[in-house]
Amino acid sequence: MKPTLLILAAGIGSRYGGLKQLDNIGTSGETIMDYSVYDAINAGFGKIVFVIRKSFEREFNSQIINKFNDKIEVKTVFQEIASVPDGSMFNLEREKPWGTNHAVLMAKDVINEPFGVINADDFYGKESYRILAEFLNNSANKKNQYCMVAYRLGNTLSENGYVSRGECFVDENENLTTVTERTKIIRKGNTLVYQNSDNQDIEIAENTPVSMNFWGFTPDYFDYSQKRFIRFLQQEGQEPKSEFYIPTMVNDLITSKTATCKVIQTPAQWFGVTYSEDKHSVINKINQLIKNNIYPEKLWK
């Protein structure tokens, strides 16, 4: 059975100012998601599952899903504030859903095979999908063995200022032990630095592995997440901005020795759209990849 790619596309782009998932960045009107699906198909994925919001379902279907419905199996699931287990209580004044691992949980009824998880508005590079597909193809009939495709820090910087990244630490078997958030990372001359809690610049290596929310799981992950989400709601459900993140869930499983998470490094270049100013840079990078014959001018013919 081929692996599935789960694309988290329910964000509303509050910092960006709109639905950046639907922004055209390719020469024929492609979105970043189009390139993700194209790379996933070529890497051997057999199904795409989108997590979106009901409020933009019609727009999403017409602009995105209709383009490749005949090229790969596609399913859509919905992430809403009220998408919680029966009997759960939460703050009714809450304005946003419950974070990335809540989004993953929305797909528990439509995924029964090893699956990857990505952000809709991040470009990960075709090499990364091949790496992930290979791991997932070897994960059939396995449990509790996950992976994260990690990027070299120097391949994830923004041209528009500071970034924050999760530095990955591994054991002797290349299994993840912890992810430590590094903030205000920027290049100063030939050196990369981040700011510590005392606002001091600390040098960090160019090839430091960092997390860009590119994960591989087997279906047992849903069972653990469901149980942990119920506990999360009991503890933090009344907080208006609490979020249930993938790294939090993975860290729980690692520290309890329930599961392992292999860190697999990729040489690929990552880029994404956080602020509206990033769009022009992303368009230029896509155009360069087309000129280098990495992608055709028109993905879907």
DSSP string, 131-200: HHHHHHHTTTT--SEEEEEEEEGGGS--TTS-EEEEEEEE-TTSBEEEEEEEEEEEEETTEEEEE-TTS-
Considering the domain boundaries, does residue 225 fall inside one? yes
Lowest mean pLDDT among 14-23, 44-53, 102-111, 236-245: 14-23
Considering the domain boundaries, does residue 301 fall inside one? no
pLDDT at 21: 63
pLDDT at 277: 78
pLDDT at 274: 66
12 — pLDDT class (breaks 50, 70, 90) = low
Structure token pair of residue 292: 């280098």
CA-to-CA separations, 155 to 96, 100, 152, in angstroms, rounded: 31, 23, 5
Considering the domain boundaries, does residue 298 fall inside one? no
pLDDT at 91: 83
Provide the 8-state DSSP code for 268: P
Residue 262: Cβ within 10 Å count: 17
Comparing CA positions, the residue from 211, 187, 209 lying closest to residue 122 is 211
In this predicted structure, the answer to whether residue 104 has a pLDDT above a threshold of 90 is yes
Considering the domain boundaries, does residue 300 fall inside one? no
Mean pLDDT, range 67-91, rounded to an integer: 89
Phi, psi of 191 (to 5 degrees): -120, 140
Mean pLDDT, range 80-92, rounded to an integer: 86
Enumerate residues 6+ apart whose C-beta is below 8 A from 256.
none
pLDDT digit string (tens) for 13-54?
A: 444 345 566 788 888 989 999 999 999 999 999 999 999 999
pLDDT at 17: 43
- What's the number of domains the chain is made of? 1
Residue 203: Cβ within 10 Å count: 9
Mean pLDDT, range 117-125, rounded to an integer: 94
Structure token pair of residue 239: 């907080």
Give the residue numbers spanning the domain of 266: 4-291
- Residue 164 identity: S
Q: What is the spatial distance between Cα 46 and Cα 109, in angstroms, rounded to a whole number? A: 17
In this predicted structure, the answer to whether residue 105 has a pLDDT above a threshold of 70 is yes
The CATH number that applies at residue 68 is 3.90.550.10
215 — pLDDT class (breaks 50, 70, 90) = very high
In this predicted structure, the answer to whether residue 249 has a pLDDT above a threshold of 80 is yes
pLDDT digit string (tens) for 187-197?
A: 999 999 999 88
Beta bridge mates, 5: 48, 116
pLDDT digit string (tens) for 143-158?
A: 999 999 999 999 998 8
Considering the domain boundaries, does residue 299 fall inside one? no
pLDDT at 118: 97
Higher local confidence (pLDDT), 180 or 108: 108
Most confident of 17-21, 116-120, 234-238: 116-120
Considering the domain boundaries, does residue 113 fall inside one? yes
Considering the domain boundaries, does residue 296 fall inside one? no
Considering the domain boundaries, does residue 179 fall inside one? yes
Average pLDDT across the chain, whole number: 91
Lowest mean pLDDT among 89-103, 183-197, 285-299: 89-103
